[in-house]
Structure 1
Amino acid sequence: MHELKDTIGATGASTTTGPRTLRQQNLDVDLVVVGGGLSGVCAAITAARQGVRTALVQDRPVLGGNASSEVRLWVLGATSHMGNNNRWAREGGVIDEFLVENMWRNPEGNAVVFDSILLEWTLRESNITLLLNTAVDSAETEAGEGRITSVSAFCSQNQNRYNITAPLFCDASGDGILGFLAGAAFRVGAESRAEFGELLAPETEDHSLLGHSLYFYTRDTGRPVKYVPPAFALKDITAIPRFRELRVTDSGCRLWWLEYGGARDTVYETEEIKYELWKVAYGVWNYIKNSGEFPEAETLTLEWMGTIPGKRESRRFEGDYMLTQQDVIEQRHHDDAVSFGGWAVDLHPPDGVYSPQPGCTQWHSKGVYTIPYRTMYSRNVPNLFLTGRILSASHIAFGSTRVMATCAHNAQAVGMAAVFCKNEKLLPRDLTPPAHIARLQQALLAHGQHIPGVRLHDVQDKAWSADITASSTLRLAELEASGEWETLSQPLALLMPLAAGTVPRFTLLVRAKVATELRCELWTGSREGNTTPDVKLDTVTVALKEGEQDALIAFSTSMSSEAHAFVMLHTNEDVSVALSTEQVTGILTLAQKMNKAVAKSLVQSPPEGSGVDTFAFWLPTRRPQARNLAMRFEPALDLFHAENVRNGIARPWSGVNAWLPAKNDARPTLKLTWDESQTIREIVVSFDTDFDHPMESVLMGHPERVMPACVTAFEVRAGDKVLTHVEENHQTRYTFHLAEPITTGELTVSILGHGDAIPAIFEVRCY
């Protein structure tokens, strides 16, 4: 923490009367981040880790914003509850650290524990000065070009006023208080259809906003509990058109649809909106307890009621580029991509809970979309970064970009951009030339960020010049049958990476009630990285006799490049297929089904002329129920090579991109050797923490603490010298800084422990 200079000094007993002023403390830093939600925290930590002295100013007593124990919304992003076709799409970097750590410490989903993780990660950073309960209320700007020179903030707990100066500022406050005070251009409400050509937009611009939500939790006491509602509780529950959908089992953010305020001013009237939401929430609970329609609620008590609502939308600020519906749905390419999103365009009626319309409409794209750097700084305040939900986006695109994991991932890009600006005395817009963007992208990738379509190729990484070998390499000949069977009452598919060239032959173990036929198809995606099957490559029909038998699927086609493909089995109620409990990185079994939390049907069927695609949802099942199709491959899948650890992609993306050892390798080891000795001071290793898992932070609860393919124990050696020996690991990335650089011609990484699946390593880097 930085020392704050007290301009008044310590005082004893007062001997004067009359007006007084608050104590003022001055702080000079490199970067001021206003707002301590997930976005502000990720931006501050990213910058601080690279030596940027950062003030993180948060007007609440805890960090996390809507993810905190004050609001208790689960963290989600491109994975969308595993309810869309975005496979392996969990965000990387700092937000990934939080979610993985929360799984390890807090699989039950306790919001208070998540608070503590965010606070711990922030307090670790000596370059962060954290000011909680401190609200920014004024900003000083230079005449002329309008740079911010300082902000003033008041802490209600210690009655201190802070004056904070810096060359760079970041608004992560949600409502955009700093941008507003500094004169940054912003918008409120929905743009007209004509402005950006967005077919989901209204014909004329309007004030439509997404409202606030406020939740409650219940607890089963084991004995009858009487509930007397407050006088202000909503008495006529029929005023809520969806009241018939109430369920006793719903609490916390499953009550997201208790929403109100989108037709009001969500900044200046937020307190009035909160009181209305209290009225609704207490009225809902009173109805559940006292209407007689829910006898199962007899022993439940009201455990917690939210005290501040979770905000969705207010001001959106203007950058040099505004993201639109087309960027999201069409997955448009941006040369300055530094992040990605994948939540649906998720729009809510302005009247919220009082609207007769559905609580939301969600329109998904066929895959994730990239977010350009030009959306992350103000177009008219030259030293102001924008992150969180105030990103430069239209109201329609905001329906997707607003979710917390996406906001946090964007914020890591902002934090890294601030590092470049500080070190090279640049302003945010100065980073837009291609050479600067390329350097920013590489720095982000090196610190765990995923940017679809961009590979890490760090010229400083000495792994690029090494000869990389392994003790063994998986050649996957089959996913062994476990003795479980599933009837083909819905279409199933094995999603797997296939190499360029001839497609292998696939053999299923099946049971047929009668002589019948099994229709099989091979599909792939129309865009690199997409896992929506929309390009059919081949169809075969396999004749089956009655009884148990092998079914050989021989497609007469080839792959033009390595990519994920779907071996798809059509519905046939007379056929059952053998299942496997084996799990392998980059391989999933999917069904054509829907997740009611984020979709309304098996096939997304948007209105005509909406600009949204029609396609089927293909979803995996969550563990521990998840199973793969038992299948044999001829020839064996040979894609899991040691060379993958330096191919620049650290997750399954148009391929495995990982080294996996053979199933029977007792001590799997990677070896890097050089013709000439290398001086090494830092080693980075990335593991498989299942990027397909959303890791919802609160409420849901999860059955596992460590992901199945994660390396849980390992050792790194230089020749015979042990550089690090790790007994417990659950995180995605391990970075080891040597106290003294070592000169060696050989490094080995030995896997000593792992989860239930074959372990996987995505990258090994040396500096």
Structure 2
Amino acid sequence: MIKENFTSSRELKVERMTANLVIVGGGLAGVCGAVTAARAGLKVVLVQDRPVLGGNSSSEVRLWILGATSHMGNNNRWAREGGLVDEILVENTYKNPEGNPLIFDVILLNKVVSEPNITLLLNTSVHSLLKSDDRTISQVNGFCSQNSTEYELRAPLFCDASGDGIIGFLSGASFRMGAENRQEFDEKFAPSKAYGELLGHSLYFYSKDSGKPVKYHAPDFAMADITQIPKFRSFNTKDYGCKLWWLEYGGRLDTIHDTEKIKWELWKVVYGAWNYIKNSGEFPEAENLTLEWVGMIPGKRESRRFMGDYIIKQQDIIAQRAHDDAVAYGGWSIDLHPADGIFSEKPGCNQWHSKGLYQIPYRSLYSKDINNLFLTGRIISATHVAFGSTRVMATGAYCAQAVALAAQLCKDKGLVPADIYNKGLIGELQHNLLKNGQHIPGIVLKDKDDLVQFAKLSASSELVLTELPEGNSRRELDIDVAQMLPFGKGEVPAIVFHADSDGYGELEVELRLSGRQGNFTPDVTVAKQTFNIQPGRNCIQADFSVQLEDDTYAFLTFLKNPLVKLYRSHQRVSGILSVFNLVNKAVSNYGKQVPPEDIGVDEFEFWCPERRPEGQNIALKIEPGLAVFGIENIRNGIDRPVTQPNAWAADLNDAEPAITVQWEIPQQINKIELWFDTDFDHPMESVLMTHPETVMPFCVRNYKICDDHNKVIYSKTGNYQSRNTIRFDKPITTSKLTIVVEHPSANVPAAVFAIRCY
């Protein structure tokens, strides 16, 4: 029994903690930053003001995670973010292909609590901080409502991943809200005059079929007449969850301090909309539906943006400007919404895409004012226009991974964030990021510590792509279709294909390239051929007589012809794709981007893959074949397709594919890393959408590693991850490693992006 007498006052229980890095904000960015830093050896305290992790991706909001892949609706091929973002999304696809947000909560929670270097504080809100001087934070203070405990957290480094920038705000760091005018940064998409309107909040709901009639009685606060909303006809019985992203409000309010007011307005709309669906008589199919879930907190898009030593702007995105301190990339469209949200007569969003990925500089990931404050998530240093792209979750989490390894450098060398750039250590940070799976466009890993770099490499076979054999299905040319092929420098080989026709006519075939190396927008036509076709099966050889100056992907483009059907192939190969001049309204893709004049955005066509099980390659023969899957690819420092597949692939007829790594003298090996193909082109939306497979069809599932005595030192079955790290309790000594892999299937040859030994 506890019994206390009256006293004039009492104080809360206080816990004091010290760490190398305190991260405030447990959304996807905070999670990826914390786990990446912890694995790099930092002691981390992760502070989250909600009972679950994930922020907008959690079960409290239920927004799918997206980044540069943009629902496969743009021209960014193989653009899914790497490192921990990739690990999480691949694992979620394997364990949670239905996109259950509750399961995703647990996947994130398990990632964090599995790291002994992380102390996790849930339900803890930061409310104040201390500074050792005007520009240095020494301590942040938080309160947990669940255990009535005050936390005092001290560290040499802090990271604000809170979304609203609570640490940056309390520390006095400079920030912006709303749009800059067009003249300030010469952004043509910015307004002529600065204004304060913001992107609003959204709040979703779920419904389910109860199997029997369900009546609904709306609360008194529900909006009585939902038809006052311009988009009221968009409400239906099929859309739920984040498909209702356009259910948005608050852009003309203070999106921080008015959040509760905004939430209540959204609740009025949600419950009024459900009343309309259930009781208007216009939806008889809703008789058995019940309201299963309504968000308790809204998903936020925009509030404060804090200023770093560089401010990302529209031109960085559209022109894909190179930065010497690039540490991450983006690829979502510039996606801005009307300030009135659901009450606007305008479309719910205004998305303008760039032709490819753009680099994100390190200087945008720390405060220019507070010496020891990193920035990540949606609060990084960007203009309002650029923020329209950088704000999405996978991009923010990718930046957090860069911040985490920057914090490691700061700890090891006694630095503050800006020192990494100012003292010429960006190369070291980039190197560490690349080793960790962080693809940075235009930068290649050169790892002198990797023993494979000095070994003799051989393979049981190397795929030479001479054919994508015909299957038993055909593709109608109801839209333009292209087969992407990786050609080496030199003459383009002859390509033979078959086309069935319902009549006489002409088939136009073009060879297209991207005007920018590394992009996948086929905006340059280098050759055209027109073929006469007749009823039945036509055997056609395209010989373009074109010399290529660089290794590059080319697009064998078949222009629309309703008479024609092309044969498809069941064979899938790493780095080989068919793409289509598709429409994807979810990301403002209508086949071609045609912007208004003088907004600083390019006009171009969209060429996107179809989601599996569709999207088969076009059957064809290549003479001579493409020898682009050689063994040297496993140490070329690029772990995804870019201008070439960058993978070793075995011949499908090779019964036991194997790679041999051999040294002149025995080597001591502590760790082996293998990097497999988990299809970086598949966006792996985390919730709501289902996926056609739990394991990507290109991923090697089973393999073994043998030493120079042919002894199996490691074996794996059922792999589904991109990165496999094998650590030995004691170093092994061997002059040779043989990695024996199995083909993923009869139609997919085994492929490996990289092997590294340390």
Q: Give TM-score, length-normalised by structure 1.
A: 0.97
* Equivalent in the alignment of 2:8: 18
Q: Which amino acid aligns with 1:511?
A: D
Q: Which amino acid aligns with 1:665?
A: D
Q: Given the alignment, which residue of 718, 726, 738 partners 1:728?
A: 718
Say yes or no: does 1:335 pair with 2:324.
yes
Residue 77 of structure 1 and its aligned partner are, at CA, apart by 0.3
Q: Given the alignment, which residue of 356, 360, 384 partners 2:345?
A: 356
Query: SS in structure 2 opposite 1:432?
Result: helix
Q: Given the alignment, which residue of 736, 739, 752 partners 1:746?
A: 736
Q: Which moved more, 1:527-536 or 1:92-101?
A: 527-536
Residues 652 and 748, structure 2, Cα contact 8 Å, conserved in 1: no
Q: Which amino acid aligns with 2:700?
A: V
Residues 714 and 753, structure 1, Cα contact 8 Å, conserved in 2: no
Kindly provide the CA deviation profile for residues 457-493 of structure 1, in whole angstroms up to 9, marking residues without a partner as x: 1110111101111111111111111121122121110
* Equivalent in the alignment of 2:752: 761
* Equivalent in the alignment of 1:450: 439
Q: Which amino acid aligns with 1:311?
A: K
Q: Given the alignment, which residue of 41, 59, 75 partners 1:85?
A: 75
Whole-Å Cα distance in 2 between the matches of residues 143 and 458 of structure 1?
40
Structure 2 stretches lacking a partner, 5+ long: none
Q: Which amino acid aligns with 1:207?
A: G
Q: Which amino acid aligns with 2:277?
A: I
Say yes or no: does 1:117 pair with 2:114.
no
Say yes or no: does 1:207 pair with 2:192.
no
* Equivalent in the alignment of 1:107: 97
* Equivalent in the alignment of 2:126: 136
Residue 78 of structure 1 and its aligned partner are, at CA, apart by 0.3
Query: SS in structure 1 opposite 2:738?
Result: strand
Q: Given the alignment, which residue of 517, 521, 524 partners 2:510?
A: 521
Identity among equivalent pairs (%): 53
Structure 1 stretches lacking a partner, 5+ long: 1-10
Paired residues for 1:420-459 under 5 Å: 420-433=409-422, 435-459=424-448
* Equivalent in the alignment of 1:604: 593
Residues 743 and 749, structure 2, Cα contact 8 Å, conserved in 1: no
Query: SS in structure 2 opposite 1:597?
Result: helix
Paired residues for 1:211-222 under 5 Å: 211-222=200-211
Whole-Å Cα distance in 2 between the matches of residues 705 and 600 of structure 1?
27
Q: Given the alignment, which residue of 466, 480, 505 partners 1:491?
A: 480
Residue 748 of structure 1 and its aligned partner are, at CA, apart by 1.3
Query: SS in structure 2 opposite 1:583?
Result: coil
Paired residues for 1:513-662 under 5 Å: 513-662=502-651
* Equivalent in the alignment of 1:279: 268
* Equivalent in the alignment of 1:230: 219
Q: Which amino acid aligns with 1:687?
A: F
Q: Which amino acid aligns with 2:713?
A: L
Whole-Å Cα distance in 1 between the matches of residues 517 and 55 of structure 2?
35
Query: SS in structure 1 opposite 2:584?
Result: coil
Whole-Å Cα distance in 2 between the matches of residues 490 and 389 of structure 1?
37
Residues 258 and 353, structure 1, Cα contact 8 Å, conserved in 2: yes
Q: Which amino acid aligns with 1:611?
A: G
Whole-Å Cα distance in 1 between the matches of residues 228 and 172 of structure 2?
41
Q: Which amino acid aligns with 1:65?
A: G
Say yes or no: does 1:464 pair with 2:492.
no
Q: Which amino acid aligns with 1:727?
A: T
Q: Which amino acid aligns with 2:123?
A: N
* Equivalent in the alignment of 1:8: none
Say yes or no: does 1:705 pair with 2:694.
yes
Query: SS in structure 2 opposite 1:415?
Result: helix
Say yes or no: does 1:245 pair with 2:234.
yes
Query: SS in structure 2 opposite 1:163?
Result: strand
Whole-Å Cα distance in 2 between the matches of residues 571 and 444 of structure 1?
43
Kindly provide the CA deviation profile for residues 392-423 of structure 1, in whole angstroms up to 9, marking residues without a partner as x: 00000000000000001010000010000011
Q: Which amino acid aligns with 2:367?
A: S
Residue 546 of structure 1 and its aligned partner are, at CA, apart by 2.6
Q: Which moved more, 1:88-97 or 1:717-726?
A: 717-726
Whole-Å Cα distance in 2 between the matches of residues 26 and 753 of structure 1?
53
Say yes or no: does 1:40 pair with 2:30.
yes
Whole-Å Cα distance in 2 between the matches of residues 143 and 426 of structure 1?
16
Kindly provide the CA deviation profile for residues 213-256 of structure 1, in whole angstroms up to 9, marking residues without a partner as x: 00000111121111111111111112210111222110000000
Query: SS in structure 2 opposite 1:619?
Result: coil
Query: SS in structure 2 opposite 1:543?
Result: strand
Whole-Å Cα distance in 1 between the matches of residues 422 and 702 of structure 2?
43
Q: Which amino acid aligns with 1:414?
A: V
Whole-Å Cα distance in 1 between the matches of residues 372 and 738 of structure 2?
45
Residues 416 and 443, structure 1, Cα contact 8 Å, conserved in 2: yes
Q: Which moved more, 1:440-449 or 1:594-603?
A: 594-603
Residue 13 of structure 1 and its aligned partner are, at CA, apart by 3.9
Residues 235 and 283, structure 1, Cα contact 8 Å, conserved in 2: yes
* Equivalent in the alignment of 1:308: 297
Kindly provide the CA deviation profile for residues 69-94 of structure 1, in whole angstroms up to 9, marking residues without a partner as x: 00000000000000000010000000
Kindly provide the CA deviation profile for residues 658-714 of structure 1, in whole angstroms up to 9, marking residues without a partner as x: 011001112111110111221111111000000000000000111210000101111
Change in CA separation of 1:434 and 1:92 when aligned onto 2, cut-off 3 Å: farther
Residues 579 and 615, structure 2, Cα contact 8 Å, conserved in 1: no
Residues 688 and 759, structure 1, Cα contact 8 Å, conserved in 2: no
Residue 12 of structure 1 and its aligned partner are, at CA, apart by 5.4
Q: Given the alignment, which residue of 355, 370, 374 partners 1:385?
A: 374
Whole-Å Cα distance in 2 between the matches of residues 752 and 555 of structure 1?
37
Q: Given the alignment, which residue of 664, 670, 678 partners 1:681?
A: 670
Residues 715 and 752, structure 1, Cα contact 8 Å, conserved in 2: no
Residue 753 of structure 1 and its aligned partner are, at CA, apart by 5.6
* Equivalent in the alignment of 1:418: 407
Q: Given the alignment, which residue of 35, 42, 58 partners 1:52?
A: 42
Q: Which moved more, 1:654-663 or 1:515-524?
A: 515-524
Whole-Å Cα distance in 2 between the matches of residues 760 and 18 of structure 1?
72
Whole-Å Cα distance in 1 between the matches of residues 254 and 645 of structure 2?
48
Kindly provide the CA deviation profile for residues 621-679 of structure 1, in whole angstroms up to 9, marking residues without a partner as x: 10112211111111111100111011011001111000110011121111101112211
* Equivalent in the alignment of 1:6: none
Residue 600 of structure 1 and its aligned partner are, at CA, apart by 4.6
Residue 544 of structure 1 and its aligned partner are, at CA, apart by 2.2
Residue 433 of structure 1 and its aligned partner are, at CA, apart by 4.0
Q: Which amino acid aligns with 2:60?
A: E
Query: SS in structure 2 opposite 1:77?
Result: coil
Whole-Å Cα distance in 1 between the matches of residues 533 and 624 of structure 2?
23
Whole-Å Cα distance in 2 between the matches of residues 305 and 217 of structure 1?
6
Say yes or no: does 1:478 pair with 2:478.
no
Whole-Å Cα distance in 2 between the matches of residues 667 and 401 of structure 1?
45
Q: Which amino acid aligns with 2:403?
A: V
Say yes or no: does 1:405 pair with 2:394.
yes
* Equivalent in the alignment of 1:4: none
Q: Given the alignment, which residue of 148, 152, 174 partners 1:185?
A: 174
Whole-Å Cα distance in 2 between the matches of residues 325 and 711 of structure 1?
40
Query: SS in structure 2 opposite 1:407?
Result: helix
Whole-Å Cα distance in 2 between the matches of residues 541 and 729 of structure 1?
46
Paired residues for 1:64-79 under 5 Å: 64-79=54-69
Residues 476 and 637, structure 1, Cα contact 8 Å, conserved in 2: yes
Change in CA separation of 1:36 and 1:622 when aligned onto 2, cut-off 3 Å: same
Residue 312 of structure 1 and its aligned partner are, at CA, apart by 0.2
Q: Which moved more, 1:705-714 or 1:570-579?
A: 570-579
Q: Given the alignment, which residue of 498, 512, 523 partners 1:509?
A: 498
Q: Which moved more, 1:740-749 or 1:15-24?
A: 15-24
Aligned length: 756
Q: Which amino acid aligns with 2:555?
A: F
